[in-house]
Structure 1
Amino acid sequence: MKLMNNKNICLALLLAIAGFNATAQTKPYSWTNLPKAVRPVFKKDTFNIVKYGAKADGITLNTQSINNAITACSTKGGGVVLIPDGLWMTGPIQLKSNVDLHVSRAALLQFTDDKSQYKIIEGNWEGHAAYRNESPISGTNLTNIAITGEGVIDGNGEVWRLIGKDRLTEEEWKRKVASGGVVSENGKTWYPSAAYAKAAKTPKAGYIEPGSSAASAAEYKDYYRPNMLVLTNCKKVLLKNTTFQNSPAWCLHTLMCQDLTLEGVRVRNPWNAANGDGIDVESCKNVMIDNSTFDCGDDGICVKSGRDEEGRKRGMPTENMVVKNSIVYRAHGGFVIGSEMSGGARNIFVSNCTFIGTDIGLRFKTTRGRGGVVENIYIKNIAMKDIITSAILFDMYYMGKSPTDDELVSDATLPPVTEATPQFRNFYVNNVSCNGADKALMVRGLPEMAIKNINLENLSMKTNKGIEIIEGKDINLKNIYIESKNSKPLISIVNASGVKFDNLRYGADTDLLFSVSGKKTGTIQVTNSNTSKAKNKVEFKSGADSKSLVASN
């Protein structure tokens, strides 16, 4: 009876029966306790593709030889499949467990432009189940795999991609049109074929839906541009030192993988490559991206987790991810989360990265209908130069109709909050420098779901425009310096509350420091800041309370 009366002992016994061990639980992740990815280990046995009949003449199609070498390696317990020096033409390659595909420094693995070599399969496109052409390199349900070596893997993407006339020189456009394909009716877009052009106008072309089949989807085969490397539900994955370039669509797509490491990888896509993302990490767990370089036509390092209802049903966030010591050139975004983030994203750490010439630096995007929660994102030590639009962007209106000024401040009926309402919260950004951007910071939440608990500290920004905060709650900015050409106003706040500035500094020619709008705008605190340097301190518009801004030194 004494045992039964001791609540603590009883609780311990119940937890033990349930298999719960408090001391075995993972500590919360922090900068001193970063997530880790388990790396694969391989036998030293080497399988040279030459011994399986491969020829480095740039003409022979080595698909069967390379795949036979991979199969033999995996069957015999694993090891290294060697792509030696030379130009190796091939069709699709299927990786297998316990195989390290090693591409020698002077090797070029070139995928064929013969589209008949790529069969139509059931795959995934931008978060939807869809028919795709087989990827040049793929692997599903594998364990212990790698692609290593300092060689080059080329996806021959130019034969697959559409392109706009405005993204080519006049001479390049002439050559593209002369190569075949068709031009759109308005003369602004080149398509690889008439079937591609027709599919581009067909809603949900290629989506896997009741009654659809690979056979029926064949009409638009040319439209289903493959991602160059697709790994699905794989564990212990390593990509090291290899250059991946010229992908038909996304370059590296890891889907539902666990323990993924990129080290010293280089991704090169033309700046005008449609959907030329560098890497899309989708619904993955335990990820390390280190010392890698991305120069691509779309988002550089991108986190995803499925789209809309399909993504929410999958329910697999991308989590426990570290990105460090990496560089992104000329991409839509340097480090990106979304917009397909319906399964959520959490516990992500980004540090010591450089973004040069990207459209946006740190880019977090979603829209109504996505759902999903993005939270616990930690970023520090970021350098940016020549950013086209916003250095830092939180946007919940991606690909949607932006709100008008009247809508932002009106009392119109709001959409209900449901599982389809996305959420951004708990971001911690420290030590960011940017020399050249159109806007320093943009925060744009939804009227029914504000962006919450965004903490930015030690920012130094030289930009054309300053800061805009719309539908944000608990936005904390500490030790901020903004030097802006257009300071009318420097900081715009619309329907936001709990906004705090601590040690705000700004350029000498600032005309208007704050513009505050909207009836929903709550307290704005400014401390340890010299607000008298600006020609005009604050204006209140569209029903904003003149007492909402409180400044003290």
Structure 2
Amino acid sequence: MVETLTPTSTSTCLWRRWWVSLYPTNNNHHHHRRWIPSAATFFPTQKILLPSLFLAFLFTLFYWQQDAGVGGFLIFRRPFPAGDHPLLRPVAFNLTEFGGVGDGVTLNTAAFEKAVLEISKKGGGQLNVPPGIWLTAPFNLTSHMTLFLAQGAVILGIDDEKYWPLMPPLPSYGHGREHPGPRYGSLIHGQNLKDVVITGHNGTINGQGQTWWKKYKQKLLNHTRGPLVQIMFSKDILISNITLRDSPFWTLHPYDCKNVTIKNLTILAPIFKAPNTDGIDPDSCEDMVIEDCYISVGDDGVAIKSGWDQYGIAYGRPSKNILIRNVVVRSMVSAGISIGSEMSGGVSNITIENLHVWNSRRAVRIKTAPGRGGYVRDITYRNLTFSDVRVGIVVKTDYNEHPDEGYDPKAVPILEDINYISIYGDGVRVPVRMQGSEEIPVMNVTFQDMSVGITDKKKHIFQCAYVQGRVIGTVFPAPCDNLDLYDERGNLIKRSVSQNISDIDYSF
């Protein structure tokens, strides 16, 4: 009998026979020979099957690369330059090779300096800091360098200011943030660098800030305190998987840098009596990601800056294209995430999402003043959670701290295009305090999907002054009368009576 098959069944049968011939069963009474279809048998199906398989391969390749962020056919593209991907360093050194002693007493500054110099001569390398307490004065990094802190490694900053070098004022600040004239440098410092990594197995950089904080309060310092880690005028920076604690001043300060990634950091300082110990201060930086961090400090958890009054306006370097996500913050003195107050070079295109602020004075804040100039625009806050916070969302336009009398009081900043989406919380005294002014109105603000549980059933808990914008959908507590109301489909329900109503109440 001759078996007749449709074209589809022929194709299926042929593939099944080919598979079985390659992988026979274990039946002892059957012996399968490798079977290869003849050209005459296979040719009618081949015209359809092979082109289909080839097209399927190309589409699979295309979509795989789209998901991977490649954005096109890799086989038709030139390969990326080697520098675009992190590479293993050509050499690796141990700090002990340069005379380092991790006993917490021996000063290791010379060992760090010798190691960095050797890495510079080699054109790049990794410096391993093994377990131990490595006391040191400030030292500089070099390009194409990885500083790796093993588990149990502590780089400990010496707390005697005579070991800390003085540096010129930041060009966008005019003089030190706390005193005119020069400022102390940072414990770990770098300028005009490329391709720098600070990472490890959760080793620690400890600034021993207690002595600095005490002297600052007693007014015994003649210069502005130094940050713990400061990288300036640099690009391609990665800082990850370490703990930073007890900085004398701002903890991590990237200044005028591009392409910076900060992830998996723990940043700690006492929540009281540790003045100005901001966690991360991106300053005139571009293209930055801050993610997966825990921050509990004595000032702002993150503060985005871009220069101070006339000096920042003249320097003209904005902070832009910054993503902050998956961050947990505690700040009993200031705010979880701040923009400003030094924002005179401008701040734009900032996204802050998946943020949890707990047991804090304020959650997210924008602070500025007449004389700052600049702008804050295109800011998106998304999926924020507030737990036991006094004030959730803050915009303050009278934060009047100026470097000197040379600022222009008519240089007023622009605040516009600010979005708050999916805001949740519990135990909040005042969910919103948005204080614009006649000089500095807050323009084009959007609130959407907000539900914040409050501690007291008082009036004036959604406070506004000189604010223009909209509420979309359901927002709790009830928004102020300055804002237009829209339903979830974007249909106007109620137009605001006046955008200049002042409903600010600092009594609680």
Please indicate, yes or no, whether the TM-score normalized by the shorter chain is above 0.5: yes
Q: Greater CA radius of gyration, 1 or 2? A: 2
Superposed CA deviations along residues 80-128 of structure 1, whole A, max 9, x for unmatched, are 1110111111111201101111111111111112222112221339934
Q: Determine the structure 2 residue equivalent to 1:136.
A: 187
How far apart, in 1, do the equivalents of 2:142 and 2:124 lie? 9
Superposed CA deviations along residues 476-527 of structure 1, whole A, max 9, x for unmatched, are 3532022xxxxxxx6555xx4xx213469xxxxxxxxxxxxxxxxxxxx755
**What is the identity percentage for the equivalent residue pairs of Structure 1 and Structure 2?**
28
Q: Determine the structure 2 residue equivalent to 1:325.
A: 326
How far apart, in 1, do the equivalents of 2:447 and 2:100 lie? 55
Change (3 A) 1:313 1:41: farther
Q: Determine the structure 1 residue equivalent to 2:168.
A: 122
Q: Determine the structure 2 residue equivalent to 1:469.
A: 464
Q: Determine the structure 2 residue equivalent to 1:313.
A: 314
CA deviation after TM superposition for structure 1 residue 44, in Å: 4.7
Equivalences for residues 378-527 of structure 1 within 5 A = 378-387=380-389, 389-399=390-400, 418=410, 420-463=411-454, 464=456, 466-482=461-477, 492-493=480-481, 496=482, 499-502=483-486, 527=494
Superposed CA deviations along residues 164-214 of structure 1, whole A, max 9, x for unmatched, are xxxxxxxxxxxxxxxxx6xxxxxxx951xx643xxxxxxxxxxxxxxxxxx
Q: Which runs of 5+ in 2 are unaligned?
A: 1-68, 71-83, 177-181, 402-407, 502-508
Superposed CA deviations along residues 136-166 of structure 1, whole A, max 9, x for unmatched, are 111011111111011011001011114xxxx
The residue type equivalent to 1:160 in the other structure is: W
What SS does the aligned partner of 1:291 have?
A: strand
Equivalences for residues 146-161 of structure 1 within 5 A = 146-149=197-200, 150-161=202-213
Change (3 A) 1:328 1:126: farther
How far apart, in 2, do the equivalents of 1:39 and 1:360 lie? 39
Q: Determine the structure 2 residue equivalent to 1:508.
A: none
Q: Determine the structure 1 residue equivalent to 2:358.
A: 356
How far apart, in 1, do the equivalents of 2:327 and 2:392 lie? 17
The residue type equivalent to 2:380 in the other structure is: Y
Equivalences for residues 364-383 of structure 1 within 5 A = 364-383=366-385
How far apart, in 1, do the equivalents of 2:279 and 2:412 lie? 28
Matched, 1:104 2:150: yes
Q: Determine the structure 2 residue equivalent to 1:287.
A: 288
Q: Determine the structure 2 residue equivalent to 1:338.
A: 340
What SS does the aligned partner of 1:97 have?
A: coil
CA deviation after TM superposition for structure 1 residue 39, in Å: 6.8
Q: Which runs of 5+ in 1 are unaligned?
A: 1-31, 163-180, 182-188, 197-219, 401-415, 483-489, 505-524, 529-537, 545-553
CA deviation after TM superposition for structure 1 residue 134, in Å: 2.2
What SS does the aligned partner of 1:281 have?
A: coil
Change (3 A) 1:118 1:129: same
Q: Structure 2 length as normaliser, TM-score?
A: 0.74
What SS does the aligned partner of 1:325 have?
A: strand
Q: Structure 1 length as normaliser, TM-score?
A: 0.68
CA deviation after TM superposition for structure 1 residue 395, in Å: 1.4
How far apart, in 1, do the equivalents of 2:166 and 2:191 lie? 16
Change (3 A) 1:108 1:138: same
Q: Determine the structure 2 residue equivalent to 1:176.
A: none
Change (3 A) 1:436 1:44: farther
What SS does the aligned partner of 1:66 have?
A: helix
Higher relative contact order, structure no. (Cα contacts within 8 Å, ≥ 6 residues apart): 1
Q: Determine the structure 2 residue equivalent to 1:94.
A: 140
CA deviation after TM superposition for structure 1 residue 302, in Å: 1.2
How far apart, in 2, do the equivalents of 1:40 and 1:364 lie? 35
Q: Determine the structure 2 residue equivalent to 1:262.
A: 262
How far apart, in 1, do the equivalents of 2:325 and 2:129 lie? 29
Query: Do the aligned partners of 1:326 and 1:352 also contact (CA within 8 Å) in 2?
Result: yes
Equivalences for residues 233-244 of structure 1 within 5 A = 233-244=233-244
Query: Which 4+ residue blocks in structure 1 deviate beyond 2 angstroms?
Result: 38-42, 123-130, 474-478, 490-493, 501-504, 525-528
CA deviation after TM superposition for structure 1 residue 446, in Å: 1.7
Change (3 A) 1:375 1:80: same
Superposed CA deviations along residues 282-312 of structure 1, whole A, max 9, x for unmatched, are 0000001111111100000111000111101
Query: Do the aligned partners of 1:126 and 1:340 also contact (CA within 8 Å) in 2?
Result: no
Query: Do the aligned partners of 1:479 and 1:502 also contact (CA within 8 Å) in 2?
Result: no
How far apart, in 1, do the equivalents of 2:276 and 2:283 lie? 15
How far apart, in 2, do the equivalents of 1:417 and 1:479 lie? 39
Q: CA RMSD in A?
A: 2.7
How far apart, in 1, do the equivalents of 2:345 and 2:137 lie? 33
What SS does the aligned partner of 1:68 have?
A: helix
The residue type equivalent to 2:438 in the other structure is: P
CA deviation after TM superposition for structure 1 residue 129, in Å: 3.0
How far apart, in 2, do the equivalents of 1:492 and 1:381 lie? 21
CA deviation after TM superposition for structure 1 residue 224, in Å: 2.6
Query: Do the aligned partners of 2:171 and 2:311 also contact (CA within 8 Å) in 1?
Result: no
Change (3 A) 1:321 1:90: same
Q: Determine the structure 2 residue equivalent to 1:20.
A: none
Q: Determine the structure 1 residue equivalent to 2:28.
A: none
How far apart, in 2, do the equivalents of 1:290 and 1:105 lie? 21
Query: Do the aligned partners of 2:264 and 2:291 also contact (CA within 8 Å) in 1?
Result: yes
Q: Determine the structure 2 residue equivalent to 1:531.
A: none
What SS does the aligned partner of 2:282 have?
A: strand
Q: Determine the structure 2 residue equivalent to 1:252.
A: 252
Structure with the largest fraction of strand: 1
CA deviation after TM superposition for structure 1 residue 417, in Å: 9.4
